[in-house]
Structure 1
Amino acid sequence: MIILGSYPIQKLLGREAKDLDLLATLSEFQEYIHPINKPTITDKNHAHFKGHYRIYDCELIWPDSDSLELAELILSDDKTTWDNYLKAWVPSLNVLYMLKMSHRYKKNSPHFLKTMRDIQKMRAAGAFIQSDHFDFFKKRRDATYWYEHPNLNRTKEEFFNPDDSFYVYDHDSIHEAVAIDGAPAYTKYAVEGAEVLSSKQKFFEASHEVRIAGVYEETCVLALERSQIPNDFKRVTPEWSFKKALEKVCTSITSGWFREFAWEHYDEVLELYYKRGEMDYIALFHENKDRLRPYEGEK
């Protein structure tokens, strides 16, 4: 029986872990929660049991599975310890950090910000991904992000699905309307001749301010396109739309190096948002309506 999740490091994280995340075979899990209790099988790889004081979530170990590989990695690690109270093995801080990092970009996760804060605290405590764990980390990460991510090497007509009815304005024209420095930040690192693709080299050669502005403006456009405009600027606040859009920029709407930069600088982008004012991107959109062009779909 192996304990995963936040429980082993709840003092470090500064909060009490309400659930107990486990790694075990089905028979081990059954024995752990007591033979008279019946666990609920969520799917082939997961089971859970709601006890009187806590919920037990178990990742099930099967032959030739990633879960078995993880268990072997933990049990062979000389930094793994035994918890005599819980009667289970506890992975090292580095292994727990590696597992957190493997799902930090998970799409539509209700725990997005909690995971980010946990990772930041674990880093502050010295956690890192060990070189001998990196191959497993990549396998675990790839299994988590089973869904497709945006391929930016396309025309903007191909990139913006015409079946999405919320498109009202041309995406680039919204960028032009909300640009905070005259021209959209992305134009400073766009690949020459490409409509959507950005240059990693140009991006990291640009100033830090330009990079932060790039994430900020992309978030503003997404907040307008997917939330504020479809709701006629009613029902949801500009702040809610921005935060939800920033979460998506940091997880599923972008990918690769841009997503990593956005995730790592989430707090700086949010700081810029509050510095400029919660209504600023809405005001710019309305002030610069002459720059907006209608969305025409695939040509």
Structure 2
Amino acid sequence: MIVIGSKALLVHLPLTDEVVERRMKSDFDVIMTPEEFVQWSKDKSSYIQSLVPTKENKYKAVIVLNGVRKVYEIELGFDGTSAKYLLDRVEEVTDYVILGFLGEHMHTLSLPHLMLTKKSHLIYPVHFEKSINDYHLIKSYLGNFEPNETMNEYYALRSQEAKERYKQRTPKLNVTTEDFFSSKLNVPHYFVHDDIHEVMAHHDEPVYKKMQPDPSMAWCAKDMFFALPYEMQVQAVQEEAYVISLERYIIPQYGDNHADHFEMYKNALKRICTTLCSGWFREFAIENYPEAIKRYNPNFVDILSDAIFYEKIKPLDGVNLNDLPRSLKKAWYVVNA
């Protein structure tokens, strides 16, 4: 029996008050062999309030002991699965043994394998913020780390399972920039996408232009990107996040938290790391997510507002500026009110 997820991660962290509290509150994500599962469900039946299948090889058990409720998310290790791969190598892939809520002896997955478990599904938006924060926390503890063959094989299996589970499609980039961006908006369109990019540029032009072999196409070249200084690489991710958050959430006032500009920036970063693109740019955004958060400019909406006021950017034909959110028109609204 192997415990993974937050319960396993917290075992490896220094014992601060916050970690102790999280350990007490966190539920159990557990991998079992089918035989262990059958025996466990019989032995613990008096404590199991409910036990229901959630996926083909997964169950959710609600446990009650002395009035305290805990949830076990149970994954069964069938042949050919990543769970079975770990169970077959339990001594190699685990380090500590802890007691479960009902006194079970559980092996805890090692930090490298926990990191690879997190990474295997980071390109999907489910529980993204928690997963990516945990991923980078583990990376900070591991330091310079190279996975061995067993870790790589496990990661490949886990990633393939995530791919089959989520069946996510990513957009094609070998189309014109106009077709790419116009086809992705499910909200009212107020400005030309590339015009917003010009306003959000950190330099004389948006960073993406420095990595486009053909300016008419959305495609960017990997070698041109990695030839740029690291700071500009991060800025490329940031500029995209600013534009997406403005264009898809803040300007059209779309979503419950559209007025929370930092949340919309993080939401845009999540899109970049998951559904908006694929390949090396998405990988870079994932691996450098904390840096993109750290360098966040809380005044990015004011930059667009000023650009509207000084007519450095003009709306599309037929767009009424008075329809924009107040945060975007505070400078010129007084003049035109």
TM-score range, shorter chain: 0.7 to 0.9
Identity %: 25
Aligned residues: 291
Q: Does 1:75 align with 2:90?
A: yes
SS in 1 for 2:296: helix
- On the 8 A contact 1:215/1:269 being kept in 2, the answer is yes
Deviation at 1:223, TM superposition (A): 0.4
- On the 8 A contact 1:23/1:58 being kept in 2, the answer is yes
What are the within-5 Å matches in structure 2 for residues 111-122 of structure 1?
112-122=128-138
Name 2:109's counterpart in structure 1.
91
For structure 2, the residue ranges without an aligned partner over 5 or more in a row are 318-337
Instruction: Summarize the Cα distance change of 1:279–1:253 in structure 2 as closer, same or farther, 3 Å threshold.
Output: same
Pairing partner for 1:64 from 80, 92, 103: 80
Instruction: Summarize the Cα distance change of 1:182–1:45 in structure 2 as closer, same or farther, 3 Å threshold.
Output: same
Pairing partner for 1:266 from 289, 293, 302: 289
- On the 8 A contact 1:99/1:137 being kept in 2, the answer is yes
Distance in 1 (CA, whole Å) between partners of 2:304 and 2:288 is: 23
Distance in 1 (CA, whole Å) between partners of 2:136 and 2:254 is: 37
What are the within-5 Å matches in structure 2 for residues 121-160 of structure 1?
121-126=137-142, 128=145, 129-145=147-163, 146-160=167-181
Tell me how large the CA RMSD over aligned residues is.
3.0
- On the 8 A contact 1:12/1:121 being kept in 2, the answer is no
Distance in 1 (CA, whole Å) between partners of 2:285 and 2:309 is: 27
Larger Rg: 2
TM-score (norm. length: structure 2)? 0.75
- On the 8 A contact 1:94/1:130 being kept in 2, the answer is no
What are the within-5 Å matches in structure 2 for residues 208-247 of structure 1?
208-231=230-253, 236-247=259-270
Range moving further from structure 2, 195-204 or 164-173? 164-173
| Aligned-partner residue type, residue 39 of structure 1 | L
Distance in 2 (CA, whole Å) between partners of 1:126 and 1:21 is: 22
- On the 8 A contact 1:223/1:244 being kept in 2, the answer is yes
Range moving further from structure 2, 52-61 or 83-92? 83-92
Q: Does 1:178 align with 2:200?
A: yes
Distance in 1 (CA, whole Å) between partners of 2:306 and 2:295 is: 15
Q: Does 1:32 align with 2:40?
A: yes
Deviation at 1:207, TM superposition (A): 1.7
Deviation at 1:154, TM superposition (A): 2.1
Name 1:196's counterpart in structure 2.
218
- On the 8 A contact 1:220/1:281 being kept in 2, the answer is no
Deviation at 1:22, TM superposition (A): 0.7
